[in-house]
Amino acid sequence: MKKIKKSKSKDYPVLRLYKDDLEKIETIFKENYEDYEIIIDEYRLENISDISKIKKRETTNFSIKAHFPYIHLDISKDSASLHISDEDDLKLLGMFSKIDEILSKRISLLSVFTIPWIYFSVQLILWIIFWGFPIERFNIPKLLFMGSFLILIVIWVLGSFWLKFKKHSLIYLSEDSHSKLNFFQRNKDKIIISIISAIIGAIIGIGGTIVANWLYNKLF
């Protein structure tokens, strides 16, 4: 009797990787395999140092894999995953753990919007405000208010679905993680998060006021 091998894999949300991250990942492969394959876009590389020959600063496509036993890290514009062929193989498990540690540190803040409870909570609050906001108290044109909120709901739904199903991972080929990128490059995701968080905070504040007024009217 022989035990059937069971594979192990992990999917990642939006990633932001740098050249030195790729070098660390290659080192993990070097320590365990004589031969492995690296592909960036349409190029097959001998090693990560060949990145300098690619005439672009960033990419969304990176793949590194080895066989016998099989391990594959595949990052594309739409997805990112790490896969090993045998979860009982100690060498593979060790590699999986080390690579996972590198990738987990590079998960973008934008990934927060792919978390189901955040997505549905914000959507619920938007609908509560849409149906319960006391427009008459603030002299707001009804069509303007309803139209604006419907647009906001559509943006939230489509934006969240885009992040969930079209995860846009980015790899900086010419920059290390400690390089001095310009302010916008370094903080782009944080700026987007701050803007969206401010909008969500305002929405939650309005929703809380509506709920509080409703409870007050019901209880008193």
Quick one: tokens of 98?
């080390």
Kindly state whether residues 76 and 117 are assigned to the same domain: no
Q: Using the 3D structure, point to which of 77, 104, 131 is the last residue of a domain.
A: 104
Domain count, the chain: 2
Asked if residue 63 is part of any domain, the answer here is yes
Range of the domain at 83: 8-104
**Does residue 82 sit within a domain?**
yes
The string of pLDDT tens digits covering residues 114-128 is: 667 776 777 777 777
- Euclidean distance between CA atoms 62 and 123, whole angstroms: 34
In this structure, the answer to whether residues 126 and 147 fall within a common structural domain is yes
- Of 58, 82, 104, the position where a domain reaches its end is 104
Q: Does a structural domain hold residue 17?
A: yes
| Residue finishing a domain among 104, 127, 160 | 104
Distances (CA, A) of 88 to 73, 97, 148, 217: 18, 13, 54, 61
| Residue 189 DSSP symbol | H
Distance separating alpha carbons of residues 85 and 9, to the nearest angstrom: 9
pTM over 0.85: no
User: Is residue 3 situated within a structural domain?
Assistant: no
pLDDT tens sequence across 39-67: 999 999 999 999 989 988 889 999 999 99
Average pLDDT, the chain: 79
Same domain for 123 and 62, yes or no, is no
Q: Do 170 and 97 have their domain in common? A: no
Q: What percent of the chain has pLDDT over 70?
A: 66
1 in a structural domain: no
User: In terms of domains, do 100 and 113 share one?
Assistant: no
Give tens-digit pLDDT for 60-86: 999 999 999 999 999 998 889 999 999
